[in-house]
Structure 1
Amino acid sequence: MNTPQPTQFRVLTGMHEIAANAWNRLAGNQPFLSHAFLHALETSGCVSAETGWLPQHLTLWEGEHLVAAMPLYAKSHSYGEYVFDWAWAEAYQRNGLSYYPKLLSAIPFTPVSGARLLVDSDANRVQLAHAAIEHAQAIGASSFHCLFPTPQDSAALQQAGLMIRHGVQFHWLNHGFASFEAYLAAMSHDKRKKIKQERRRVSEAGIRFRQLTGADIRSEDWAFFTGCYDNTYREHCSTPYLNLDFFQRIGHALPDNVLMIVASREGQDIAAALNFYDNTTLYGRYWGTHAYSPALHFETCYYQAIEFCISRGIQLFEGGAQGEHKLARGFLPIETSSAHWLAHPRFAEAVETFLERESLGVADYIGELNEHSPFKNT
C-alpha cells in the first residue's frame, strides 16, 4: 500500500527551475504552453522584471511529483495582454490606489485560448485557482487575472470566486475543403469576388510566396522576419515585444510547430508572417513588412495560411485578436473568456456590474456579426 505523499505549493521564478518533461506532461500539445516556448521568452529577455513580466509560476507537488501548474506573472503594466483593463487601472489611480502589481495567468503577448490550470486531476483545478488568489494576497497584488482559459478552466476559476469576462475573436473553420477554390465556392458572391480581386492584385504586383517549416527556416530568414516585425511596430509608434533571440530559440526548439510565410518581389523578400501550428490548429501570430503593396497583408497573413490549413487538413485557424475585417474573409466570431479577481471589495463590485452589462453587449455583437456571415445561406 502506497503512503500518500504530502502536497506543497511552490512559486517558481522561471522555467529554468522545473524540468521540461515534468511541465510538458501537464501542458499537453499546444506549442504556447510548452516549456520551450515559455523558457525562450524568459531566456531571451522578452519576459523579465525589466519588461514588466516577473515570472511567478505556480506549481503543486506531491512529494517530488508535479501534479498541477499555472503560468503566472506579476505585472507592472497591462501591455501585451489583449484583454484590456486600462480603465480599471485608471479608476484605481483616481482614487489614490495602486493597480500594479497585479497577478496574471496568460501566455505573454499571445491572445490564444488554452489551458491555464494545468492539472493531472480535476480535483486539483479549483485548488490551484484558490492558491493563485492566495499568492496575489501574499505579494500585495491588487488583483488576479486569467486570460483566454478553456471553458473547463473558466468554470473552476468562477467556482473559486473569479468574475468571468467575455470577448470576441475571429476563427476560420475548415469544413473539409478540398482546395482554396472549394472554400471560396462556399462564400457569397460578393465576398468571393472581393477575395479573388485581392489575390489577383497581389499576383499582378509580381509578389510570390514561400511557405517555410522546420529546418527550411534558415538563420537569415529569422533575421529578415525580425526586421519586418520590428519595422511594423515602429511604423505604429510602438516598441516590439519580442526579439531575434526569442525567434531563433523557438525556431530551434519547436521546428515542427512553426510556419513562416515569406513574400518576395523580383527576388527580394519584402514581408513575412509567423504562425504556429499543431495537428488540429494553426495560430496566426506575428507579421511585418518592409514595403507596402495593396492586399499584401491579407494574402500573407490569411490566404496563404488558409491554403496551408487545407493542404494539411488542419481544422481551425485562429487569426489572433480583434479585427472585424476578418469576417469578410471567412473568419467567424467566436466568444472568448477571461477571469478576474480584485482584492478591493468596492472595486470588485463595480467591475462585476460592468461585466454584466458588457456581457450582454458582447452577445448582441456576436449576433449582429453572424447576421453578416460571408457564407451562403444553407
Structure 2
Amino acid sequence: MLEARFHPRIEELPAAAWDALRTDGNPFLSHAFLAALERTGCIREDWGWQAHHLGLYEDERLVAAAPLYVKGNSHGEFVFDWSWAAAWERAGGDYYPKLLNAVPYSPVPGPRLLAGDGPQAPQRRETLVRAMRQLADAHGLSSIHANFLAPDDLPAFDGQWLARSDVQFHWPNRGYGGFDDFLAALNHKKRKNIRQERAQVARAGLRLEVRRGDSLGADEWRQAHRLYEGTFDAKGNHAALTRDFFRALGEGELGAATHLALAWEGERMVAMALFLQSGEALYGRYWGSRVEVPGLHFELCYYQGIEHAIRAGLQRFEPGAQGEHKLARGFLPVRTHSRHYLADGSFRKAVHAALAREAEAVDAYAADLLEHSPYAHRDA
C-alpha cells in the first residue's frame, strides 16, 4: 500500500531517498537546490509561494515524490495563465490559491514526478497525479499546473488534464572538438555575425573566465548577486533569489554543479552569467551587468556557455526560456510540455478550446523556425 503525505518543507523528506528518485541528474530537481530556495528566503508566502511537497511512502520508505507548491499568484512560473485567472475571477470564482508541480523560478524541462526508473515507476507517477487531484478537490482549489514536464511524466496525466506546449531554444553538441568546429557547421552569414560579436567584446579589453561555483569567495558571490539584482531591478522585474541563495550555490554539491561566466574590468566584476550543470547538459539561468559593451550579453550567456559545454563533453546547452534571437546563434527549437487540471468542467471546456487555437499557432511557429535553421546543412 502506498501512502501519500504532504510536507511544508522539503527538509522533511530524506535527501538521499529524494535524489535517488531522479533519473537524469537534473540539478534543479535535487534536494539541495530546492532546500536552498526554502532555507534562504526565496520561497515565501508573501511572494505567493508555499511549499507543499508530495511524497509517496511504502512501509515508511519514500518511493516517489513531486515538488509541489500552493501558489497565491502566477509569478515565477514561465507558463503563463494570467488570462485564465482573469477570466475565472471575472466569472466570480477564486483562481488563487492553486497547486503548482514545478521548480520555482526555473523554466527548465525535466522530471516533475520523481519515481525512479524501475518497473513500478509509471504506476507511481499516476499515483502522484491522483494524490494532487484529491488534494485540490478536497480543498476546493481551482486548478493544478504541472510545468516543463519530462517525456516520461506525460502518460501519468489522463484526459481530464489539458495539454499545452511551447518552444525553447537548445544548443545540440554534435561532437565538436572546439568552438571553431561549431562555427564551421553554421552557414556563412551566421558564422560571420558571431565572429563579429565576439570581436566587439574582445576590443573592450575585459578579462573573461568561467569559474566553478565552489571556487568563488564570499565577496565574489556578493558581487555576482549585486549584478543579478541590479539588472533585474533596472528592467522592472522582481529579483526573487536572495544573496544567501547565491552563496548557497557555491557550497557542497551545488558548488560543483554551478558555473559562472565572468567579465572583469581590472579587479572589478562587471558582468556575469550563471549556469547549472548536470552530467549531460548545461543550463543557463541568470545574467547581470554594470557596463554597456556591445555583444557582452551574447558572449557570456551563449558563447562562453557553448565553449564550456564543448570542453565538458556535454550533450546540450539549454540557455533559458524564450528568445528567438538564439536561433541565429546555433540554438534550435525544442518543444516543452505542461499539463493543467481545471476543476470546473465548463471552465475547462472553454480553456480547452482556447488551447486548441494556441496549439495551432505554436505548431506553425515551430515549423517556421525549423525552416530558418542557422546550420549549413538542415540536418546538422
The TM-score normalised by the length of structure 1 is 0.96
The count of aligned residue pairs is 372
Hey, what's the Cα distance between the residues in 2 that align with 1:312 and 1:362? 33
Q: Which whole-Å deviations, capped at 9, do the CAs of 1:73-127 have from their partners, x for residues lacking one?
A: 0000000001000000110121121110010000000000111111142221111
Aligned to 2:339: 339
Point out the more displaced range, 212-221 or 66-75: 212-221
Task: Say which of 56, 59, 62 aligns to 1:60.
Answer: 56
SS in 2 for 1:362: helix
SS in 2 for 1:50: helix
Aligned to 2:264: 264
Within the alignment, does 1:35 sit opposite 2:31 as a pair?
A: yes
Hey, what's the Cα distance between the residues in 1 that align with 2:334 and 2:222? 34
Task: Say which of 98, 102, 108 aligns to 1:106.
Answer: 102
Hey, what's the Cα distance between the residues in 2 that align with 1:114 and 1:341? 19
Within the alignment, does 1:184 sit opposite 2:179 as a pair?
A: no
Indicate the percent of aligned positions where both proteins have the same amino acid.
45
Hey, what's the Cα distance between the residues in 2 that align with 1:195 and 1:57? 44
Hey, what's the Cα distance between the residues in 2 that align with 1:259 and 1:244? 16
Q: Amino acid of the residue matched to residue 365 of structure 1? A: Y
SS in 1 for 2:251: helix
**Which aligned segments of 4 or more residues in structure 1 are displaced greater than 6 angstroms?**
none
Within the alignment, does 1:125 sit opposite 2:125 as a pair?
A: yes
Task: Write the mapping of 1:203-222 to structure 2, written as runs, cut at 5 A.
Answer: 203-222=202-221
Q: Which runs of 5 or more residues in structure 1 are unaligned?
A: 1-5
Hey, what's the Cα distance between the residues in 2 that align with 1:268 and 1:75? 39
Indicate if the aligned counterparts of 1:14 and 1:56 stay in contact, CA closer than 8 A. yes
Aligned to 1:3: none
Aligned to 1:19: 14
Indicate if the aligned counterparts of 2:72 and 2:96 stay in contact, CA closer than 8 A. yes
Hey, what's the Cα distance between the residues in 2 that align with 1:359 and 1:152? 21
Aligned to 1:115: 111
Q: Amino acid of the residue matched to residue 244 of structure 2? A: D
Following TM superposition, by how much is the alpha carbon of 1:285 offset from its aligned partner in structure 2, in angstroms? 0.4
SS in 1 for 2:283: strand
Q: Which whole-Å deviations, capped at 9, do the CAs of 1:29-88 have from their partners, x for residues lacking one?
A: 211111110001101110122221111111111121111111000000000001000000
Hey, what's the Cα distance between the residues in 2 that align with 1:232 and 1:91? 33
Task: Write the mapping of 1:205-284 to structure 2, written as runs, cut at 5 A.
Answer: 205-253=204-252, 254-284=254-284
Aligned to 1:195: 194
What is the alpha-carbon root mean square deviation over aligned residues?
A: 1.2
Indicate if the aligned counterparts of 1:72 and 1:106 stay in contact, CA closer than 8 A. yes
Following TM superposition, by how much is the alpha carbon of 1:331 offset from its aligned partner in structure 2, in angstroms? 0.5
Q: Which whole-Å deviations, capped at 9, do the CAs of 1:335-367 have from their partners, x for residues lacking one?
A: 101000001111100111111111111111011
Q: Which runs of 5 or more residues in structure 2 are unaligned?
A: none
Indicate if the aligned counterparts of 1:130 and 1:160 stay in contact, CA closer than 8 A. no
Q: Which whole-Å deviations, capped at 9, do the CAs of 1:216-256 have from their partners, x for residues lacking one?
A: 22212211110000000111112201011111113213122
Within the alignment, does 1:137 sit opposite 2:137 as a pair?
A: yes
SS in 2 for 1:60: strand
Q: Amino acid of the residue matched to residue 13 of structure 1? A: P
Following TM superposition, by how much is the alpha carbon of 1:267 offset from its aligned partner in structure 2, in angstroms? 3.8
Hey, what's the Cα distance between the residues in 2 that align with 1:190 and 1:86? 39
Following TM superposition, by how much is the alpha carbon of 1:162 offset from its aligned partner in structure 2, in angstroms? 1.1
Aligned to 1:165: 164
Hey, what's the Cα distance between the residues in 2 that align with 1:174 and 1:221? 31
Following TM superposition, by how much is the alpha carbon of 1:139 offset from its aligned partner in structure 2, in angstroms? 2.4
Hey, what's the Cα distance between the residues in 1 that align with 2:213 and 2:289? 22
Following TM superposition, by how much is the alpha carbon of 1:198 offset from its aligned partner in structure 2, in angstroms? 0.3
Hey, what's the Cα distance between the residues in 2 that align with 1:211 and 1:285? 15
Aligned to 1:374: 374
Q: Which whole-Å deviations, capped at 9, do the CAs of 1:314-353 have from their partners, x for residues lacking one?
A: 1100010000010000100001010000011111001111
Hey, what's the Cα distance between the residues in 2 that align with 1:249 and 1:143? 33
Indicate if the aligned counterparts of 1:99 and 1:142 stay in contact, CA closer than 8 A. yes
SS in 1 for 2:189: helix
SS in 1 for 2:264: strand
